[in-house]
Amino acid sequence: MKFIEGGVCAAKGFTAGGVHCGIRKNKDKKDLSLILSEVPASCAAVYTTNLVQGAPILVDKRHLSDGIAQAIICNSGNANTCNADGIQVAEKMSQLTAQQLKIRTEDVVVASTGVIGQPLDITPIAEGMPSLAAALSKDGYKDATEGIMTTDTVPKIVAVECEIGGKTCRIGGIAKGSGMIHPNMATMLVFITSDVAIAPEMLQKALSGDIQSTFNMLSIDGDTSTNDTVVVMANGLAGNAVITEEGEDFTAFMQALNTVNVALCRMIAGDGEGATKLLECKLDGAADLKNARIAAKSVICSSLLKAAMFGADANWGRVMCAIGYSGADVDITKIDVAFRSKAGTIVVCQQGAGVPFSEEKAKEILLENEIEILVSCHAGDACATAWGCDLTYDYVKINGDYRT
């Protein structure tokens, strides 16, 4: 397996594009994106479990009941959530897309991101549809990524190439996500494409399984969004034998999908609103996977730990505290903690108690922009990784006037 260029256009048969249609006031920012497969594709999705859900999610659940899709349309600047006419607008977006591309309305996945509770005017979307369709190209993945960004400061793009069933296959993805990120199913908005031939039910199985160790282990601020959606389309143009059951080919696909999702998780965490550091908690030696995940994510979610990491303060007690209230079944007296970055590694706790360490060296390690928090439970063989970021003054500034 290797990383390649191309994002959602890396796989055979996919094009993408993005334009500014007028949803956002800033004309320099694209606000409407489109991804198209030249043939109908197997499609799987996972959505937020927040009881307040964006209208696009309700529409997508209907459209994807047959496990087939051919296009994804997404706007930024407005979440189309908590609107009386939200479903009608989302359906109209699908219809406009289908008419422009000459495909079935039911084969269009629709998504929206931005401010909640403000009506979404369909007019700029309708007027921008011809130019959006004209923008579709193999190089359009960068514009498509820009069109789904809100408070993101960097585009999030990845693609990998691997071999499945003797055929060269590709999987690529783009994502948006910087704030209101604490997924409980999937995350933010993530669109993934592949030319692998795989049955819809196996694609859904792969996605639903992988998010437990990727997007569900990611947190920026503890807020689960109303519009969280992850969508995967696989059009089969790689020419491998269709994956219809578990086996060697399914395992290879899962590994490639996981590689894409982990990369996107790291990008999202590193670009958290106001963040200066990517945090990665690697926990090993847990009694079982469930407890490993609970403890690791609790560490990443701790506001006190996030603030300490911002200040490059090796306050390891906050790691222990987060594990202690996590609900994980662990023996606190067996836990070791260390911090690691490219500046080195320092052990700060052994068997649940502090050990002498150099504060100067610890600060040097924690001043780097990627920090690993290493936790060993010494209770079994299970391990888990969670991703997050530090908590800075700028997070409050960004969200203090997000709507206005």
59 sits in the region (left: phi over 0; alpha: psi -120 to 50; else beta) called: alpha
Cα angle for residues 360, 366, 367 (degrees, 5° grid): 90
Pairing of strands 382-389, 229-234: unpaired
258 and 290, same domain (yes or no): no
What are the DSSP calls for 238-272, one per residue? T-PPPB-SSSHHHHHHHHHHHHHHHHHHHHHHHT-
100 and 200, same domain (yes or no): yes
User: Which residue range forms the structural domain that includes residue 375?
Assistant: 278-400
CATH number of the domain residue 131 falls in: 3.60.70.12
Among the candidates 241, 270, 299, a domain finishes at 270
Instruction: Tell me: pLDDT of 217 over 70.
Output: yes
Among the candidates 225, 247, 270, a domain finishes at 270
Q: How far apart are CA 369 and CA 278, in angstroms?
A: 6
pLDDT tens digits, residue range 176-212?
998 877 877 655 899 999 999 999 999 999 999 999 9
CATH number of the domain residue 333 falls in: 3.10.20.340
Q: Which amino acid is at 79?
A: A
Q: Where are the beta strands (DSSP E) in 48-107?
A: 68-76
Q: Give the pLDDT band of residue 330 (cuts 50, 70, 90).
A: very high
Catalytic positions are: 187
Beta-ladder partners of 110:
73
Q: List the structure tokens of 165.
A: 């069933």
CB 210 within 8 A of CB 259: no
Q: Which ranges of 108-219 does DSSP label H, i.e. alpha helix? A: 123-134, 141-147, 200-210
127 and 248, same domain (yes or no): yes
71 and 167, same domain (yes or no): yes
Among the candidates 240, 270, 300, a domain finishes at 270
SS3 content of the chain, % helix, strand, coil (to 5): 35, 30, 35
93 and 238, same domain (yes or no): yes
Q: List the structure tokens of 331.
A: 């023996």
Average pLDDT, the chain: 96
75 and 198, same domain (yes or no): yes
pLDDT tens digits, residue range 97-114?
999 999 999 999 999 999
307 and 232, same domain (yes or no): no
Report the largest interatomic distance among the alpha carbons of the chain, rounded to a whole angstrom.
Answer: 68
Instruction: Tell me: pLDDT of 276 over 60.
Output: yes
179 and 236, same domain (yes or no): yes
316 and 284, same domain (yes or no): yes
313 and 176, same domain (yes or no): no
139 and 218, same domain (yes or no): yes
Q: Give the pLDDT band of residue 375 (cuts 50, 70, 90).
A: very high
Q: How far apart are CA 356 and CA 337, in angstroms?
A: 13
Which residue from 178, 175, 174 is spatially nearest to 151, judged by alpha carbons?
178
Q: What is the pLDDT of residue 180?
A: 76
Domain count, the chain: 2
CB 387 within 8 A of CB 293: no
219 and 350, same domain (yes or no): no
Q: Give the pLDDT band of residue 225 (cuts 50, 70, 90).
A: confident
